[in-house]
Amino acid sequence: MNNKPKCVGVLTAGGDSPGLNAALRGLGKTAMGVYGMQVIGFRDGFRGLMENRTVHLEDATLSGILTTGGTILGTSRDKPNRMPIGGKLMDMTDVMVDTYHKHLLDVLVCMGGGGTQKNAFLLAKKGLNIITLPKTIDNDVAMTDVTFGFDTALGIATDAIDRLHSTAHSHHRIIIVEVMGHNAGWLALGAGIAGGADVILIPEIPYQVEIIAEAIRKRSREGKNFSIVAVSEGAMSCEEYRIRKALEEKLAAAGSKSAKKEIESKLQELETQRTGHAFVLAQQLEMMTNLEARVTILGYLQRGGTPSAADRLLATRLGTAAVELIQQGVSGVMLAVRGDRVEPIPLEEVVGKRKLVPLDHPWVQSARNVGVCLGD
């Protein structure tokens, strides 16, 4: 029987997110303190794994990072199979496999969102032992109730909406608050409800500008001369949605590579045209309501700062639970939150999926019940 202590590799990938350091601390302290494992961190996500840039995580390294935002390992959005090298996109998966074996790793823990789950799965298919933890402020990773990072971002976005109420009321303005969420509307929906927004626009529900304008005019007729509009960065009008859907259907039916490339180019162009859509919406609403409109884009503010107590707790639970699985020899899974439990879910069940806001979700129904306009 091999009683040699296990060697664990860990990296953080994708966008930075509150709670990453708490997860690293939970993983590292449990691995070293309880099981005597060695823990090697790879800097800047999958690129650090490819370039073999490491840091040995020790108790002193992990001390004092629980409340710190960001990630002490650094991060990047590089993909193993499409990594920029010398001006070209190259498949560097085999190089990462070599790094894994060079350090005699027993397992590699990857912390990240949907893209990280997919990239980690590529390495798992190469025969590496992989465990992933779900983090993203968007809360859109499939098969888990919640991701760490979401609660902190939700609190930041809610606080911003709270603060904007006073200036909206004082100047009788429409304030449009753009919240992160390119494909999923969890953040805008949750913050909009908690912050008392009058209009909430999310990617899952295409909107009509006239319906929004009428909701604001109705408030004016009732003596409420201001409105707060919380909008996901990925929210789109019914017309934009129709065009995108038609292009996606054409892409799915396209036979040749050239045809697919042309359609993908049109989709990218459509996405580029949507840059600054909150300002376009502001201009439209000004014309239709005769009220001044101002835009506040929260952007990276939602990612930064001290993680909330809930995110610290969740990240610590996931980090410690990952070590228990490592000790048991389990791999090829993502640790998912299911109610009060943490469960391992096979990576193949997670990859390629995204958790969107269901149209019948209780949050959607609650928003409608309190009179929030969802643009439809």
Nearest to 335 by CA among 356, 321, 348: 321
**What's at 286, amino acid-wise?**
E
The two structure tokens encoding residue 313: 């707790």
SS3 content of the chain, % helix, strand, coil (to 5): 45, 20, 35
The residue count of the chain comes to: 376
Say how many C-beta atoms besides its own lie within 10 A of residue 267's C-beta.
15
Determine the Cα angle at 203 with ends 74 and 118, to 5°: 40
Do residues 141 and 114 touch, judged by C-beta distance below 8 A? yes
Q: Hey, is 162 helix, strand or coil?
A: helix
Q: Locate tokens 């707790």: which residue?
A: 313
Do residues 1 and 296 touch, judged by C-beta distance below 8 A? no
Do residues 63 and 29 touch, judged by C-beta distance below 8 A? no
Catalytically active residues are 138
Q: Which residues pair with 109 in a beta bridge?
A: 10, 131
Question: Cα(264)–Cα(252) distance, rounded to whole angstroms?
Answer: 11
The two structure tokens encoding residue 12: 């953080």
The two structure tokens encoding residue 245: 């859907």
Query: 293-297 and 174-179 as β-strands: parallel, antiparallel, unpaired?
Result: parallel
Do residues 75 and 14 touch, judged by C-beta distance below 8 A? yes
Phi, psi of 151 (to 5 degrees): -60, -40
Question: Cα(342)–Cα(314) distance, rounded to whole angstroms?
Answer: 10
Q: Locate tokens 């429409």: which residue?
A: 174
